[in-house]
Amino acid sequence: MLRAISRLRSPLQSLSHSHLPALWSTSLKLLPTPPPPPPPPLLRTPWAAPFSSSRKRKGGGEEREESKEEEDAVPGVFIFGRDPQRPPRLFVVQPRLRPDSVLDSKLSEALNLAKSLEEHREGFFQEDFASKEVPPHTVVQNPAGRSAKAHADTYFGPGTVDNIKIHLKAIESEDLVDAVFVNAILSGIQQRNLEVAWEKPVLDRVGLIIEIFNAHAETKEAKLQSELAALMYKRSRLVRVRGPHGRLTFGMSGEAEVVSGRGRGSGGRGFISGAGETELQLQRRRIQERRNQLLAQIEEVRRTRAVQRSARRRHGGSDGRGLATVAVVGYTNAGKSTLVSALSSSDLYRDDRLFATVDPRLRSVILPSGKKALLSDTVGFISDLPVQLVEAFHATLEEVVEADLLVHVLDSSAPNIHEQRSSVLVVLRQIGVSQEKIENMIEVWNKIDLLNKNDETDAQGEILVECREENADKEESEALKEEEYTQMQEAREEEALPEAHNISASNQSSGLHLNEDASCSESSLMHEGLESDESLQIKCYSKLEPKFSARIEYEAAKSVETSAITGTGLRELLSLIDEKLNDGKTALKRSYEPFDRKWRPSYNIETSKAAEL
């Protein structure tokens, strides 16, 4: 065991152990000469020790004995230098989006992401999510909007950078901020320049999501995969930084170390200087070495999973015959774990934190026909899910690809339910789920109790404006929609956009009524990466009438409404699963050989756009 742990600590990581104290330093230091490997007091060991025995799970007190092997302290890599003993305090910067409803949902997601970054302590998070304070935040001009362009050097314009600096200075005295979270995807250079300007570590959306995965991973499998994702993220961000004495080096943004910018191999002068490996090459090589180690271990995990899957498919059932697996997928926080727990009378960890589940779990369930099936609870998805995570988590995501049936859980109370749905479809396609499986997927509209509650509250006149608008008078709303739709059609005809016309017509005939709001500016949609008029219409519709539109589409899809809390619709869902598993469409293709093809997600922009529709 000790040998296994020591094998995990590459020279690269040993370096990190001794260079973590300052906020600015990161755990993954990329120095030319490794210091002697010290005991790792600063990485995850402080909380790793209690993990080795048993842990209590929140929400029911199920004691779970984990094997020591599984809970091995895989050291992990921090994206930014932080104290693992306490959750970091992040200042959230949200670029403005239009319409306001989109901005609200994005900001709320950003704040939840910022609140979610916290390590477990003996199986628990220290603070209850609901009682956590809302992080300080600001909404700033969006450089990706129509009028302005993202600045190559600092992403935001100089005025915005200065404004944020003033905000930071204002709260500096209270020592409230450890790092700044920008809810956008930044390049390494932009991140580095913003750190210099704000004198704080900066995390972008990708970095924060990977860091949350790192913090929440418990099993060895999840830890290995999150470390790999973090490493890949760091590798893509090796930028030349200036050390404290003004010398240049390569490293993660925020690291300021003194190393030669020249080659280090020969150490000679004149024409032979610079021969050998440059600092950048050296650091890339170290990352590569660690990556290879991680990949080898993940490959082992993957093979074990494939063998187990194969065995389950062959004779996992109580009657000695195959056992079907149903993968429960969906946007993070949609209620997947709660639903799996409710269906299987088990007690999986559930929490309002985003990415509460990083370690996949299987639970068995008896279907109405008496047959047994396995429900697989897995990681949630999110819009702009980092590519590094998708790649690193392929051992886990293969469970989804290989499942016999997919159940897509949607949070019916989410204001941006349509966008969430699209994001999940994009990821499913990215990871290689077949079109056939996607078409056969069951869509579950979960948290229906919250919608019903909203309806009741509305009747009492105490509901939020958004909900009031949504539920006020459906007929009137329908009439308005028709009117707006006709106007839109006319406008489009005038603009001679035959494709859009056709699309609208086809959607209308299938029972979907499109709506376009004047406030749904093209610039905001362009920011979403949408170009066609078709996307524009559908996006506008989904964003401006989120719950209503989702309900229409939901009805069209003939899926099921549930509440994992009250138990509404669970029986119906089980019957639907039973039916799907028994019909001819659900191809229970029993490949008895362990899964062995080289897995690579396809990052096809066309596919992504298709999924958006």
Q: Are 186 and 202 in contact (CB under 8 A)?
A: yes
CB closer to Mg ion out of 303 and 361: 361
Maximum pairwise Cα distance, the chain: 84
Figure out which of the listed residues 183, 446, 471, 504 binds ligand GTP, where binding follows CB under 6 A: 446
For the bound state, the minimum distance from the C-beta of residue 379 to Mg ion, rounded and expressed in Å, comes to 8
Find the angle CA(572)-CA(573)-CA(576) to the nearest 5 degrees: 90
CB closer to ligand GTP out of 385 and 500: 385
Among candidates 329, 574, 338, which has minimal Cα distance to 449?
338
Figure out which of the listed residues 78, 355, 393, 445 binds ligand GTP, where binding follows CB under 6 A: 355
CA torsion, ordered 329, 331, 332, 333, to nearest 10 deg:
-100
357 binds ligand GTP (CB under 6 A): yes
Q: Are 257 and 251 in contact (CB under 8 A)?
A: yes
For the bound state, the minimum distance from the C-beta of residue 355 to Mg ion, rounded and expressed in Å, comes to 8
351 binds ligand GTP (CB under 6 A): yes
357 binds Mg ion (CB under 5 A): yes
Binding segment (CB under 6 A) for ligand GTP, from list 3-11, 347-355, 494-502, 521-529:
347-355
501: phi then psi, degrees, rounded to nearest 5: -60, -50
**Token pair in block for residue 121:** 């302590």
380 binds ligand GTP (CB under 6 A): yes
CB closer to ligand GTP out of 156 and 349: 349
Among candidates 477, 446, 487, 456, which has minimal Cα distance to 544?
477
C-alpha distance across the termini of the chain, in Å: 50
137: phi then psi, degrees, rounded to nearest 5: -155, 165
Figure out which of the listed residues 449, 470, 533, 553 binds ligand GTP, where binding follows CB under 6 A: 449
For the bound state, the minimum distance from the C-beta of residue 344 to ligand GTP, rounded and expressed in Å, comes to 13
184 binds ligand GTP (CB under 6 A): no
For the bound state, the minimum distance from the C-beta of residue 434 to Mg ion, rounded and expressed in Å, comes to 24
354 binds ligand GTP (CB under 6 A): yes
* DSSP string computed for 331-375: BTTSSHHHHHHHHHT------SSTT---S-EEEEEE-TTS-EEEE
Binding segment (CB under 6 A) for ligand GTP, from list 37-45, 120-128, 332-340, 580-588:
332-340
Q: What is the DSSP letter of 128?
A: -
Figure out which of the listed residues 337, 420, 423, 454 binds ligand GTP, where binding follows CB under 6 A: 337
Binding segment (CB under 6 A) for ligand GTP, from list 16-24, 65-73, 327-335, 433-441:
327-335
564 binds ligand GTP (CB under 6 A): yes
Q: How far is it, in rounded angstroms, from Cα 89 to Cα 26? A: 16
337 binds Mg ion (CB under 5 A): yes
Residues making contact with ligand GTP (CB under 6 A): 330, 332-338, 350-352, 354-357, 380, 446-447, 449-450, 563-565
Residues making contact with Mg ion (CB under 5 A): 336-337, 356-357
